[in-house]
Structure 1
């Protein structure tokens, strides 16, 4: 079994911090999969991004998705054609078949982002928040610099594009790890659907600041995944 760690399309693989090393120290095979840069992604975006992920999936892999990567879980599962063993959503949006990202976000956020767009591109993710907000969620030093260095503008069209009319197959077990209160609604929905759910009172980027706690919870969920 191998854990494939997938970052949001809005950030880069550095968001996983020391989680891969911590998983390795506990005897787990873990790989961070990097999404291609936007200038190498053809429309429609969801199928193109999902295909880039699915080609790296091997039999019995567990897909671990963070934040906006949750929207890719269903099309990746479909393209992986039964190779996935399970999916773990980590402070992530849930699949939203037929709806765009903007339709899943609050109206005020959507309006603010559209107003901030330049040349049909949204500003880098750290600029969505007040100055210093992201710095407060990340550790000082090289890891923060690596994380910030991977951020860049994103095409507005991606946020307007409806996700494929797919959901995670009923035969594929999935679970939810909530890191921050911002994703309580998603954790509550996972619990309502009877999916294994754990909650930590940390932050959205807790992988970078509290890798041990995140991995401990992640391992619990992976162990409970059906085989």
Structure 2
């Protein structure tokens, strides 16, 4: 058994990952999806609030069971902030940008100019579904009820979050890390993960398959973390 802590992107809410958590539970594992949105309810981003939310979620999980931190999309920006302070058996990135191995970075990655186009007068971004329009989101999440539930959770993130300078500890990706590519748009990141020596599993689906195809994603995730399961099963 493995317990998974699933972290959602700052642009969405837990509903993008809660179906995956249910699917993992059905496979005999434990999974939790904390609501990280309060970390963005202040004028900017609060790493202190984020760490508090995550610590509380971990405290409520079964013990002692190996813990895998799985981050989706923009949640990979949290890894250098969280991972060094957690007792992890492994980490998995799902359709996410890899933080650098050392130095510093900003969560805007390479799309800061696009954010300038979107930012509103109060220096917050509109809810993520409004970036693309209803037609695009309907293709990504065909089920109207699920789409509405995801849309209701999407916050207006302060633009200042994307200008935050995040320090990268040299050991943030230890002890084990893997990459699950959900959609072809993240192939460059999957390739980079492979070049770092990480195990990589590739799906040809959609970025929100965590919500729309949770059983398939759960099976792929379990297969990817098999080395963690095998290690924990050894006497």
Match of 2:220 among 208, 214, 217: 217
The SS at the match of 1:87 is strand
Note closer, same or farther for the CA distance 1:171–1:39 as it changes in structure 2 (3 Å cut).
Answer: closer
Residue 51 (structure 1) shift: 4.3
Pairing of 1:104-123 with structure 2 (within 5 A): 104-106=109-111, 110-118=112-120, 119-123=122-126
Pairing of 1:63-142 with structure 2 (within 5 A): 63-80=69-86, 83-96=87-100, 97-102=103-108, 104-106=109-111, 110-118=112-120, 119-142=122-145
Pairing of 1:1-40 with structure 2 (within 5 A): 1-38=2-39, 40=41
Q: Which runs of 5+ in 2 are unaligned?
A: none
Question: CA–CA distance in 2 between the matches of 1:38 and 1:77?
Answer: 17
Residue 163 (structure 1) shift: 1.6
Residue matched to 2:146: 143
Residue 49 (structure 1) shift: 2.3
Question: CA–CA distance in 1 between the matches of 2:170 and 2:43?
Answer: 22
RMSD: 2.1
Note closer, same or farther for the CA distance 1:162–1:115 as it changes in structure 2 (3 Å cut).
Answer: same
Residue 207 (structure 1) shift: 1.3
Question: CA–CA distance in 1 between the matches of 2:196 and 2:36?
Answer: 29
Question: CA–CA distance in 1 between the matches of 2:94 and 2:210?
Answer: 10
Q: TM-score, normalised by structure 2?
A: 0.85
Greater CA drift, 182-191 or 48-57: 48-57
Is the 1:17–1:143 Cα contact (8 Å) retained in structure 2? no
Note closer, same or farther for the CA distance 1:135–1:40 as it changes in structure 2 (3 Å cut).
Answer: same
Q: Which runs of 5+ in 1 are unaligned?
A: none
Question: CA–CA distance in 1 between the matches of 2:189 and 2:95?
Answer: 8
Residue matched to 2:50: 49
Pairing of 1:124-203 with structure 2 (within 5 A): 124-169=127-172, 171-203=174-206
Residue 46 (structure 1) shift: 4.0
Q: TM-score, normalised by structure 1?
A: 0.88
Greater CA drift, 187-196 or 56-65: 56-65
